[in-house]
């Protein structure tokens, strides 16, 4: 805990994972945590591997990468910055890492051992952390739902725009056809007169 500067401690205390902890639980959590620095390009977690650590970013930025298949390179799906947690879900169920996490720049983190957090002497701190993790997951799910809804709305809006453009093109095409026919009749008076005569003949037949 003494490795962190006062400014870094303030950042950690205001993080979503720790800002609800009592002083006692906060102190207990900090005792099993360490300060780590990862240089640009260093891997914090690797998708599919077991790892006992989870992190809170103190400064810097990390990229979240997901493998679409075994043959292509991992795809960047997001980034995390100061005060955000990395792979906190494994506090509840310590399974293999869901994503590969790589430092985009020099990044300072608080690193905590999940197995130490699960020890009996830290059970109160563990329960408090689990409560915070559940709240973080809930907030992220809510944000994800809002993002999905916004995406659906944006897609519908774009579809309406496309239909509007197509309709406009169709109207313009019909208008240009009518203008073209009008010009053709104007530039070909003989054809126009024959057309009028045919209409007059048809009218006469109808009258008879």
Question: Which of 87-91, 130-134, 142-146 has the least mean pLDDT?
Answer: 142-146
CATH 2.30.110.10, domain 6-139, yes or no: no
Comparing 206 with 12, the larger pLDDT belongs to 12
Q: So what's the pLDDT on residue 72?
A: 77
* Two tokens, residue 157: 């809006």
Q: Which residues pair with 37 in a beta bridge?
A: 108
Which of 74-88, 110-124, 157-171, 184-198 is the least confident region?
Answer: 184-198
Helix (H) or strand (E) holding 111: strand 107-113
H-helix or E-strand spanning residue 145: helix 123-187
Q: What are the pLDDT digits (tens) for 34-65?
A: 999 999 999 999 998 988 899 999 999 999 99
- Residues 70-83 have pLDDT tens digits of 777 888 989 999 99
Closest CA to 77 of 48, 98, 106: 98
Residue 153 has pLDDT above 70, yes or no: no
pLDDT category of residue 173 using cuts at 50, 70 and 90: confident
What is this structure's pTM? 0.65
Name the least confident of 14-28, 55-69, 107-121, 168-182.
168-182
Q: Which residue has the tokens 């009028």?
A: 196
Residues 6+ apart with CB under 8 A from 25: 124, 125, 128, 129
The domain limits of the chain are 6-139
pLDDT tens-digit readout, 9-32 = 999 999 989 988 888 888 888 888
Q: Which residues pair with 66 in a beta bridge?
A: 75
% of the chain surpassing 90 pLDDT: 30
Q: Mean pLDDT over all residues of the chain?
A: 80
State the Cα–Cα distance between residues 60 and 109, nearest whole angstrom. 9
């Amino acid at each position: 805990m003494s490795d962190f500067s006062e400014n870094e401690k303030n950042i950690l205390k205001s993080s979503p994972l720790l800002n609800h902890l009592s002083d006692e639980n906060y102190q207990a959590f900090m005792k099993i945590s360490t300060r780590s620095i990862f240089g640009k390009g260093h891997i914090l977690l690797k998708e599919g591997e077991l790892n006992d650590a989870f992190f809170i970013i103190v400064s810097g930025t990390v990229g979240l990468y997901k493998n679409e298949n075994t043959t292509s390179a991992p795809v960047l799906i997001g980034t995390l910055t100061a005060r955000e947690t990395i792979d906190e879900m494994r506090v509840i169920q310590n399974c293999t890492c869901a994503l590969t996490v790589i430092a985009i720049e020099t990044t300072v983190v608080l690193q905590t051992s999940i197995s130490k957090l699960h020890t009996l002497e830290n059970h109160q701190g563990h329960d408090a952390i689990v409560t915070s993790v559940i709240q973080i997951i809930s907030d992220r799910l809510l944000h994800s739902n809002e993002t999905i809804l916004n995406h659906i709305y944006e897609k519908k809006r774009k579809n309406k725009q496309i239909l509007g453009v197509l309709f406009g093109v169709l109207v313009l095409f019909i208008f240009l056809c009518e203008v073209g026919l009008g010009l053709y009749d104007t530039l070909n008076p003989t054809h126009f007169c024959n057309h009028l005569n045919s209409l007059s003949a048809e009218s006469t037949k109808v009258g008879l």
